[in-house]
Chain A
Amino acid sequence: MKKMKFYIFILFLSIFTSGILTAQITPEFEIGAKGVVSGNLNINSEESNAVSDFSDTQLLLGLKQKLYNSWRSDFVVGFQFPDANSNLGQVYFNNVFIKVEDQKNIFKIGRSTALTILNEFPTLRDDDAMKFIYTLNPFSNGDNTERDQYANVLEYTRIVKQRILVSLHGENFYNNSSPDDFKLNSMGFALQYKIPESQKWNRNFLQDIGISFNNYFTNNNSIESSLKYLIFSTTLNLKPDPVNFIDFKFQSIYNFGLDEVTNIADYSDYTRSKSTSLFGMIRYIKQKYERLDYQISVGAGYRTFTDTDTDQLIFVGNAFYRLGENFDIGVQYRYIKNNGIAKTLFGESENRVQLAFVYSFDKIFNKQFDDRNSILNLEHKYIK
């Protein structure tokens, strides 16, 4: 609550003072919205069925303008509706950050997604394969997924030759045992090769590849005894065709674990145990009349814990059909199997079927300048 007040204070302060000190420059403003509403049927699960589950529905507002000397700034505020049992209240502000960037540098500060995941998988909701695709927050009690996905971040990225991103980042992840602690409790770096969005479909094989190394300071900010993660991620084009497009996304996470954690007694041990996760999804996208028509994805993941006889398995399959611009209907099936101690923590297995409507919208109004990754800026000289 304190933090919320702080953000609102900053928001009002910036609006108020900018009005006093100078003539207003009307920025670009971006509105992003995603509405996900599903009916959930859970079999063999502790979670109840749901008539209408609208978690992960979110709204994002971004204000962007040119600064002096070719720099640009971005102020983003966004919130989402978390799971009902998340202990986060009705609304969670998942994005409140300022970004300052030029052609080759990006600085980001505020609450945002952390660089503890390097890929985006085509699941109905971002957290559908949570335990397999994120490095889990070792300071969390596991009540919700938002505190694994989002953190108060301080991030710098250098872009080399349009495609190579080198990032240094530090985070303050929410700490359940010390909720008022806003100190840095995580650091890491990432190296990624990424094809710009507009060119992804026509690359022969490689869309992106990257590694990331992360430290969670679980022991008095000591790097030597910190919890370390190594992430590897890639996306490969199996059929680079605009009408029938197939790609394969894969990510593996190696958790070096803490030496003192040799048994998994609770969620904290679960996040701090030595483990390896593998997750991959194949996606087929059909385009008709230069518009998206439907998409089918199947994926599977496996997580094993070295020091205990524990492993987990996941299978996800989904299909989305475009009913109209921005609007899809979809169905997703997910199966999770837990063995060993994971069975005690999360139940033996779960079958979940979801029928969903998804509305997604992202538009920039009052446009004034181009994006770094536009074809014009990429192929016909960047305009500052």
Chain B
Amino acid sequence: MKRRDFLTTGAVSTAGMVFFPGNLLSNTAKTENKKRLVQPLAYKMNDGWKEFELYIDIHIHEPAPGYKYHTLAFNDMIPGPEIRVKAGDKVRVKFINKTDLNHTIHWHGMYVPWRMDGVPFVTQLPVMPKNTFIYEFVAEPEGTHFYHCHWGTLMHMQAGMFGSLIVENDDDPVKKRFPYTREYTLVYSSHDTNYVRDEMNGMLERMKQRSYLMKQGRFNHEQWAVFDNKEQLEQSIENGYLPPYATNRRSNSELPQANWFTVNGKSYPSTPYLFIKEKENIRVRLINAGAETHNLHLHGHDFWMVADDGVPLEHPWKRNTVPLAPGKTYDIIIEGKNRGIWTFHDHDVRKVTNNGLYPGGNLLALVYDDLPEDELIITKHSGNPMLNPNAGKKGMKMDMKSGEKNNMKNMLFGDDKLPKIALDE
């Protein structure tokens, strides 16, 4: 290591902070933020059908700078791309499995034909390695929904196999009552990356053996743990088959315990920003594709609850904290009534952590992009009389010698500007 690198590392660990020079109000910040939002999936029209293509593959994901892990991803992104259609559209999704694992796609909240529901061994056989499955359905009902893998769901969902599915209504009651032009989709999840890694390695090893036996026609229901009926299972147990749950293959300490909490696949400080202007309404579609409840709280505002599981609410109501349970979707409207930069985060602060360290996780910010830059200057508006002589009531002015003033500059932790990114509080 070069001496210079060492000094940098030392400074980071001592001060516990990393400074990012970006200005949230700049165009650069807004352009960069687009990468943190869900990405739309393009379609082709074919004989009245909107045709989409989703593939699944193994991917290296970086939820926050400096931390990477192997995971699964639709179309090489987490979450998978957003499918956005109109209510009543005929939708065809070609699903290509590029991995050596089994998968399906379940369309969560959608009225699809039952053979398109994506539940392995209930509505379809799993999509085997290197196989394709064509899902077809009519887009209904309207609202905020999502899709996810339904094979090995415990692992595959937290491994990143989820994405948003928005069914738009041209006669949207939400838009009528709260006119808006900008909207955001936020897909929440939680991940035990150590569990994901271990399970993926184990499954890949097992699948290599299974594929080998399958090709030779030697793979049977006991090896796959798939049975036609209960009698067949019981007969196999009589013959020496041990159901996986009968042995202590996974002790309590090895059960998944999420250590990363993401919004759109990213954790703070990579989480997206929600931009708003004064007097503007924005619609935020909240989706919980993970296995933990997130008690989401917005600072400085109440927001309108306008849809629950995609169903528009006849009587929207106001709140500032919403418990987003696993599998739930909520739509909220935020009114631009209190300019500034406001955090929006899980109030179960164990989930505002990265690998157990606060701050991190699903912490993100609502940013007024018409905020005067002047308000970002720390010394102009700080309540600390040592930084801002005009703080509080008159008469609190502090006399400082020039040396002390220099020390005050050091307390700014870099530029005289907010916000900063602090990684170790």
Q: Determine how close the nearest CB of chain B comes to the CB of A147; give it in whole angstroms.
A: 37
Answer whether residue B213 sits at the interface, using C-beta atoms and an 8 A cutoff. yes
Q: Given the complex of chains A and B, what is the CA–CA distance between A242 and B223 in angstroms?
A: 12
Known: A289-B223, A290-B209. A368 touches B194 (CB 8 A): yes
Q: Which of A4-12, A13-21, A256-264, A376-384 contacts B (4 or more CB under 8 A)?
A: A376-384
B202: nearest chain-A partner, CB-CB: A375
| Chain B 224-247 interface residues, beta-carbon cutoff 8 Å to A | 240-242, 247
Do the beta carbons of A376 and B204 come within 8 Å of each other? yes
| B70 with A201: CB separation less than 8 A | no
Choose among A243, A288, A289 the residue that contacts B213 (Cβ–Cβ < 8 A).
A243
- Cβ A68 vs Cβ B1 within 8 A: yes
Q: Assuming A68-B1, A381-B60, A383-B69, is B197 touching A376 (CB within 8 A)?
A: yes
Interface of chain B, main secondary structure? helix
A377 CA to B240 CA in the complex, in Å?
35
Tell me whether A383 and B60 are in contact in the complex, defined as CB-CB below 8 angstroms, given that A289-B241, A290-B223, A365-B253 are known contacts: yes
Known pairs A325-B247, A370-B201, A376-B201; A201 contacts B209 (CB<8 A)? yes
Judge if B200 is at the interface, Cβ distance under 8 Å. Answer: yes
**CB-defined contacts of A69 to chain B, threshold 8 Å:** 1
Q: Is A86 an interface residue (CB 8 A)?
A: no
B402 within 8 A of A: no
Indicate if the CB atoms of B9 and A68 lie closer than 8 Å.
Answer: yes
Query: Measured between alpha carbons, how far is A368 from B198 in the docked complex, in Å?
Result: 10
> Is there an interface contact between B206 and A290, defined as CB atoms closer than 8 Å?
yes
Q: How large is the interface on B (under 10, 10 to 19, 20 to 34, 35 or more residues)?
A: 20 to 34
Task: Report yes or no: A202 in contact with B68, Cβ–Cβ below 8 A.
Answer: no
| Complex alpha-carbon distance, A377 and B242, angstroms | 31
In the complex, whether A220 has a CB less than 8 A from a CB of chain B is no
- B58 contacts A by Cβ under 8 Å: yes
Which listed residue, A291, A375, A381, touches B201 by the CB 8 Å rule? A375
**A289, B242: Cβ atoms under 8 Å?**
yes
A288 to chain B: which residues have CB within 8 Å?
240
A367 at the interface (CB under 8 A from B): yes
Give the chain A neighbours of B240 by CB distance below 8 A: 288-289
Specify the chain A residue showing the minimal Cβ separation from B201: A374
Q: Does A85 contact B (CB under 8 A)?
A: no
Contact A375 B204 (CB under 8 A): yes
How many residue pairs at the A-B interface have CB separations less than 8 Å? 58
Cβ contact within 8 Å between A383 and B223: no
Within the complex, what minimum Cβ distance (angstroms) separates A329 from chain B? 16
Pick the contact of B198 from A198, A242, A367, A383 — CB < 8 Å?
Answer: A367
Complexed CA–CA distance, A202 and B205 (Å): 11
**What distance in Å separates the Cβ of A50 from its nearest Cβ neighbour in chain B?**
33
Residues 120-137 of chain B, each 1 if its beta carbon lies under 8 Å from chain A, else 0: 000000000000000000
**A202 pairs with B212, CB closer than 8 A:** yes
Q: When the two chains form their complex, are residues A370 and B70 in contact, meaning their CB atoms are under 8 A apart?
A: yes
Q: For A202, list chain B residues within 8 Å (CB).
A: 208-209, 212
* Residue numbers in B under 8 Å from A376 (CB-CB): 58, 70, 197, 200-201, 204
Are A198 and B205 in touch, CB under 8 angstroms? yes
Question: Is B3 located at the chain interface by the 8 A CB criterion?
Answer: no
Q: Interface 1/0s, chain A 359-374, versus B by CB < 8 A?
A: 0000001011010001
Within A239-268, which residues are at the interface with B (CB < 8 Å)?
A: 241-243
In the bound complex, residues from chain A placing their C-beta under 8 Å from that of B194 are 367-368
Which A residues lie within 8 Å of B247 (CB)? 325
In the bound complex, residues from chain A placing their C-beta under 8 Å from that of B373 are: none
Q: Which of B70, B208, B242 has the most CB of A within 10 A?
A: B70
> In the complex the two chains form, is B208's CB within 8 Å of A383's CB?
no
Q: Which residues of B contact A383 (CB under 8 A)?
A: 60, 68-70
Cβ of B278 < 8 Å from any Cβ of A? no
Asked if A242 contacts B212 (CB within 8 A), the reply is yes
Judge whether B370 is part of the interface by a CB distance below 8 angstroms: no
Is B416's beta carbon under 8 Å from chain A?
no
Asked whether B348 is an interface residue with its Cβ less than 8 Å from the other chain, the reply is no
Q: Which residue of A lies closest to B194 (CB)?
A: A367
A68 to chain B: which residues have CB within 8 Å? Answer: 1, 9
- Set of chain B residues within 8 Å of A241, measured between Cβ atoms: 212
By a CB distance below 8 angstroms, the chain B residues around A370 are 70, 197, 201
Shortest Cβ distance from B1 into chain A, in angstroms?
6
Contacts of B197 in A (CB 8 A): 367, 370, 374, 376
Alpha-carbon distance A325/B69, docked complex (angstroms): 30
Question: A243 and B201: CB pair below 8 A?
Answer: no
Cβ of B4 to closest chain A Cβ, rounded Å: 14
Chain B: CB-nearest residue to A23? B13
Within 8 A of B (CB), among A274-323: 288-291
Please give, as numbers and ranges, the residues of chain B lying within 8 Å of A242 by CB-CB distance. 209, 212-213
Name the B residues within 8 Å of A380 (CB-CB). Answer: 58, 60, 70
Give, as a whole number of angstroms, the nearest-CB distance from B348 to chain A. Answer: 23
B198's nearest neighbour on chain A, judged by CB, is A367
Give CA–CA (A325, B200) in the complex, Å: 21
A376–B240 CA distance with the chains assembled, in angstroms? 33
A298 to B249, CA, bound (A): 31
Which chain A residue lies CB-closest to B243? A289
Q: Mark B248-276, 1 if CB is under 8 A from A, else 0.
A: 11000100000000000000000000000
Q: List, in ascending order, chain B residues with CB within 8 A of A243's CB.
A: 213, 218
Q: Which of A326-384 contact B (CB under 8 A)?
A: 365, 367-368, 370, 374-377, 379-381, 383
Question: How far, in whole Å, are A376 and B197 apart by their CA atoms in the complex?
Answer: 8
Contact of B222 with A by CB under 8 A: yes
User: How distant is the Cα of A241 from the Cα of B215 in the complex, in angstroms?
Assistant: 12
Given contacts A370-B70, A375-B205, 8 further A-B contacts (CB under 8 A): A69-B1, A241-B212, A243-B218, A288-B240, A290-B223, A325-B248, A374-B197, A380-B70
12 contacts between A and B (CB under 8 A): A68-B1, A202-B212, A242-B212, A243-B213, A289-B222, A289-B223, A289-B240, A370-B70, A374-B197, A375-B201, A376-B197, A383-B70
Q: Which residues of A approach B to under 8 Å, CB–CB? A: 68-69, 198, 201-202, 241-243, 288-291, 325, 365, 367-368, 370, 374-377, 379-381, 383
Complex A-B, nearest 10 residue pairs according to Cβ-Cβ distance, in ascending order: A242-B209, A376-B70, A375-B204, A367-B194, A380-B58, A374-B201, A383-B68, A198-B205, A375-B201, A370-B197
